[in-house]
Amino acid sequence: MSIAADPTAGQAVKAADRAHVFHSWSAQGLIDPLAVAGAEGSYFWDYDGRKYLDFSSQLVNTNIGHQHPKVVAAIQQQAATLCTFAPAFAIDVRSEAARLVAELTPGDLDKIFFTNGGAEANENAIRMARLHTGRQKVLSTYRSYHGATANAIALTGDPRRWPNETGTSGVVHFWGPYAYRSNFHADSEAQECERALAHLEQVIAFEGPQTVAAVILETVVGTAGILVPPAGYLAGVREICDRHGIVFILDEVMAGFGRTGEWFAADHWDVTPDLLTFAKGVNSGYVPLGGVAISERIAATFAERPYPGGLTYSGHPLACASAVATINAMREEQIVEHAREIGERVLGPGLRELAERHPVIGEVRGMGVFWALELVRDRDTREPLVPYNAAGPANQPMAELAAACKQRGLWPFVNMNRLHVVPPCTVSEAEAKEGLAILDEVL
Ligand code: PLP
């Protein structure tokens, strides 16, 4: 890791950014983006030579860490061979990437439709479900994020949907399980599961089962709270969908490719959806890539009938080459096993130990390298440290917490009243402990 300070270059990068880059999800006049000079493994650094331990994985994306040499080399080699080619052609790296993803996904999800990211994967999954069933409505949970394109943001339950709402999306929201703040007045995980399933059954009954094309869930809810489903919930949803002829979609854009300590979060509960969407970890975002893994039954719908979707860059050779290299490296270096082990042995126990000492922590939850600390004003009442969707002064405690982490060289992922601990799957024990020690000090 060679980190040379060059503040003048940093100021130039920042000035150019401020002059012409229009940033996503931001008030352009109120932001002050850090100018990043480089990254390697679990760290990145700025032009002042300040190094940060990346406990955000850049939007929970770089599962394999920054600048993995095998993936970088594969992209370089593919660029020298064939940079781009239209999706209609057979390309060696595209079929190899599809073969590898099909091999890893559960059950009969053996056909892979490539996209450029997660939202587009969800767009296509619901398009497939609607065409397969001939029905229009899609059910998704309030506590969810499914992306920012038109249908994906309509599926999203969290407040990022509000400014994008058209009111005519064909999406109906329901409550998923969340035992810590139960909507069902449940006092155990088992009761939460049972009542959440009864609630979904009731929503479907009142919507009219014959109008519902799909139910889409994040297997483990990511941005909206790292909510691990109770045992039996996913199997219960699978059974409800089967009974009503509804397509079951699992969104593994964030939870997939090792983050939970299995290749897919669905593997923890042995559940196979009809469609599984992925992105991020498939190639750690080195080149934009996502996709839909499709069951035989749904693929058969489009055997004789054209599938009406696809973009110019779908299955881009550079992206596919990086996915092949990423998956192979993750297998060779046993990175998924490592993520599980570091979660069980270091992160989980370390975060629970923090909770024993810091009453501001209301709940610790997660698995693998996918954890959240939910912060509260009062452990008994569970009043959140900041109100739901707080901004400006109301969000001050969380903003101060994020700033204090950054001052100490830890880049956190902070959302609402939660601090998400989501380092790369490759994070070492020493790095995980370094991050925990900073969190301890900051809390
Ligand atoms: N689905 C989930 C669960 C996500 O976490 C995200 C992004 O964070 C998306 C979909 C959207 O992915 P993208 O930003 O690649 O469109």
**The complex's ipTM?**
0.99
Whether ligand 1 lies within 6 angstroms of the CB of 350 is answered as no
Strands (E), 175-299: 212-218, 247-251, 275-278, 290-295
pTM over 0.95: yes
Banded model confidence at residue 3, pLDDT cuts 50, 70, 90: confident
410-411, strands of its sheet edge to edge: 36-40, 43-46, 51-54, 410-411
The pLDDT value recorded for residue 345 is 98
**Ligand 1 site-directed mutation target among 116, 123, 254, most atoms within 8 Å of CB:** 254
Give CA–CA dist 252/31, Å, rounded: 30
Whether ligand 1 lies within 6 angstroms of the CB of 225 is answered as no
Mean pLDDT over 11-38 rounds to 96
Residue nearest to atom 7 of ligand 1 (CA): 147
The pLDDT value recorded for residue 167 is 74
Contact status, residue 225 vs residue 143, Cβ threshold 8 Å: yes
Whether ligand 1 lies within 6 angstroms of the CB of 119 is answered as yes
Banded model confidence at residue 271, pLDDT cuts 50, 70, 90: very high
Give CA–CA dist 244/57, Å, rounded: 39
Give CA–CA dist 88/193, Å, rounded: 44
Residue-wise pLDDT for 297-351, tens only, equals 999 999 999 999 999 999 999 999 999 999 999 999 999 999 999 999 999 999 9
Residue 166 has pLDDT above 80, yes or no: no
Residue 141 belongs to what H/E stretch? strand 137-141
What angle in degrees, to the nearest 10, is found between the helix axes of 335-342 and 317-332? Answer: 60
Distance 121 CA to ligand 1 centre (A): 9
Q: How many other CB atoms sit within 10 Å of the CB of residue 89?
A: 9
Mean pLDDT over 228-235 rounds to 98
Contact status, residue 145 vs residue 160, Cβ threshold 8 Å: yes
Residue 394 has pLDDT above 90, yes or no: yes
Residue 1 has pLDDT above 80, yes or no: no
Q: What are residue 50's phi and psi, to 5 degrees? A: -85, 130
Residue 237 has pLDDT above 90, yes or no: yes
Whether ligand 1 lies within 6 angstroms of the CB of 126 is answered as no
**Ligand 1 site-directed mutation target among 61, 124, 145, 259, most atoms within 8 Å of CB:** 145
Give CA–CA dist 275/136, Å, rounded: 16
Atom of ligand 1 nearest to the CA of 148: 16
Q: What is the 8-class DSSP label of residue 266? A: G
- Cα–Cα distance list, 236 to 213, 241, 248 (Å): 17, 9, 11
Whether ligand 1 lies within 6 angstroms of the CB of 59 is answered as yes
Banded model confidence at residue 59, pLDDT cuts 50, 70, 90: very high
Residue nearest to atom 5 of ligand 1 (CA): 254
Residue-wise pLDDT for 195-211, tens only, equals 999 999 999 999 999 99
Residue nearest to atom 13 of ligand 1 (CA): 118
Banded model confidence at residue 165, pLDDT cuts 50, 70, 90: confident
Dump the DSSP string for 215-233: EEEESSB-TTT-BPPPTTH
Whether ligand 1 lies within 6 angstroms of the CB of 218 is answered as yes
